[in-house]
Amino acid sequence: MEKRWKLLPQELNQTENLQRELKIHKALCTILCQRGIETFEQAKQYFRPELNSLHSPWLMKDMEKAVARIIHAIEHSENILIYGDYDVDGTTSVACMYQFLKKLVKAGNIDYYIPHRYHEGYGISKKGVDFAIEKGFSLVISLDCGIKSIDLIAYAKSNGTDFIVCDHHLPDQDLPPAFAILNPKQTDCAYPFKELCGCGVGYKLISALTQRLELPEEESYQYLDLVATAIAADIVPIIDENRILAFHGLKKANSNPCIGIKALMELSGIRQELHITNLVFMIAPRVNAAGRMDDARKAVQMFTADSYETALEYAKMLHSDNDERKETDTTITEEALNMIRGNEQLMRQNTTVVYQPHWHKGVVGIVASRLTEHFYRPTIVLTKSGETITGSARSVQGFNLYEAIHACNKYLVAYGGHFAAAGLTLRPENIEAFTNAFEQVVTKQILPHQLIPEIQIDAAIHFSDITYPFYKILQQMEPFGPENMRLVFISRNVTDNGFSKIVKEEHLRLVVKQNNVVLTGILFKGAEKIDIVKNFPFDLVYTIDENEWNGSKSLQLKVIDLKPSEN
């Protein structure tokens, strides 16, 4: 699939001013300015994030109420239930809060609850509230969920159970009748950073409790590796507090990880320094797999285990769940691709909506993402769930998927989500009508260029710029993620050095030169580009990686795309 290349604009005056202050490569100063870092002091905070730069937790609306209620519960030996969602953000949130409070309450006065994805669904469930009431929990702290659970929290309150809601999802106009609500996205919340994940909100509560109870700051710092895992998995912007928390969370994960992360690192084969990409692609999928394929409670059991041996046993369960998840989503993706390729109408459309009753509910979101990568258009994958049809939707860059689904809501039982992803439920008899309506709405709203994937390029450089001092500064720009993505470069008028070749039938290994500087690189699944490489000067878009072979290290290019040079 052809891609659009977009070289991001640069502000020469700002770049030159920053370069005079930092005395580093101009291209890096250009990128820092693009990311809002224009002064020496801002650069210092960016490259050397400090925990004492975190905002005061007391700035968050209802923090005082939440802390007072928890301390009252501790002093009066109330039973406290920690309630969290079944994904990485929810399970890490519960693990942090449960371990922190367990040290402060009497034995037997605290427990946690993770709803079952298939029996209870997302968020606060009736079964979960009944569990709290029946077991005598007078205080429930919900993490990464609860902001929309108006009726169930009212039901809990009427039965003598208070809720403290810690959430980061966008609130509706009507809020649940909780004792306290911690959510920086509330319109009347003065908290200066709005993009915390659920675990981040829970961490701010732990920080406030640490201060109020006059505990050492290290009491809260020991959970930073779990917070970093949640930040990585929930794809929140890696700026401001998220950058500080992720930076120091990775430091902890590499120096003294919690035994659950240590066990998953062992099973994932991570032997070297842990980076945020490892959290995203190796740790998070194994944690998520527990909720996708079975019961997410065992993820919390792994994180909170009393010994490494116990944590490893739970990690092996998650590892097995992930193997099953990979096999399942691969099979469903192949079935879906064959359905689409075998249907001319589906191939011509601006949307993809596919349905099979036997597809596993836990992986339809992953399959929707894979189909979007193949055909690059708004995509919905549906399956049967009891008497209804449920599914997950994924968008393309710049297109508001949630609004498109909202425009078709007369065919839906329920739906929710945001700009780029959503979930929905409908009745079987409405599948065809919804599919047609969704195609019409998207066709009317989407712009032609939004159906062509775009590669955003940070800066143009020459091969001669790619040195180890340059690369060392790139490394200091980690952790990467939304709003601080891995740096993408372009080099123009590159030629083959005679040794580029196809490897493993589908990948393109490059040995290329520019002005007598020779570098190697790899373009995965790029074998069809070999004719361009062998016959034309070409432009390369890439990231820079380090390769280690037989004890020798060298810099190489991880190529994203290439095209013949225009001049």
For 71-130, what is each residue's pLDDT tens digit?
Answer: 999 999 999 999 999 999 999 999 999 999 999 999 899 999 999 888 887 789 999 999
Query: What is the torsion angle, in degrees rounded to the nearest 10, for the CA atoms of residue 236, residue 482, residue 322 and residue 141?
Result: -10
The structural domains of the chain, with segments of one domain joined by +, span 4-9+455-564, 57-320, 342-451
- Rounded mean pLDDT of 492-501? 95
pLDDT of amino acid 123: 84
Arithmetic mean of pLDDT over the chain = 94
Quote the percentage of the chain above a pLDDT of 90: 86
Mean pLDDT of 536-542: 96
For 159-211, what is each residue's pLDDT tens digit? Answer: 999 999 999 988 889 999 999 999 999 999 999 999 999 999 999 999 999 99
Mean pLDDT computed over 213-234: 95
The C-alpha atoms of residue 229 and residue 92 are separated, in whole angstroms, by 8
Q: With contact defined as beta carbons under 8 Å apart, do 510 and 560 qualify?
A: no
Using DSSP's 3-state secondary structure scheme, residue 268 falls into helix
Question: Is pLDDT of 1 > 90?
Answer: no
Burial 439-462 (b: 16+ CB within 10 A, else e): bebbeeebeeebeeeeeebbbebe
Looking at residue 416, what is its pLDDT? 80
Q: Which two tokens stand for residue 101?
A: 């409070």
Yes or no: say if 364 and 336 are a contact pair by the CB < 8 Å rule: no
pLDDT band (50, 70, 90) for residue 414:
confident
**Nearest C-alpha neighbor of 200 from the set 256, 157, 248, 255:** 248
**Which of 3.60.70.12, 3.10.310.30, 3.50.50.60, 3.30.720.210 would CATH assign to domain 342-451?**
3.10.310.30
Domains 4-9+455-564 and 342-451 fall in the same CATH topology: no
Could you tell me the pTM of the whole model?
A: 0.92
* pLDDT level of residue 435 (50, 70, 90 thresholds): very high
pLDDT of residue 128: 96
Give pLDDT tens digits for 229-264.
Answer: 999 998 899 999 999 999 999 999 999 999 999 999
Output the pLDDT for position 415: 86
Please tell me the predicted confidence (pLDDT) of residue 417: 78
Q: What is the mean pLDDT of residues 67-72?
A: 98
Cite the beta strand spans of 271-428 per DSSP E.
352-355, 379-385, 388-394, 412-417, 421-426
CATH numeric code, 57-320: 3.90.1640.30
Return the closest-CA partner of residue 221 out of 258, 260, 184.
258
CATH fold of the domain at 4-9+455-564: OB fold (Dihydrolipoamide Acetyltransferase, E2P) (2.40.50)
Average pLDDT over residues 52-66: 97
Place of tokens 């007369």: 410
Q: What is the pLDDT of residue 121?
A: 77
Q: H-helix or E-strand containing 554? A: strand 552-564
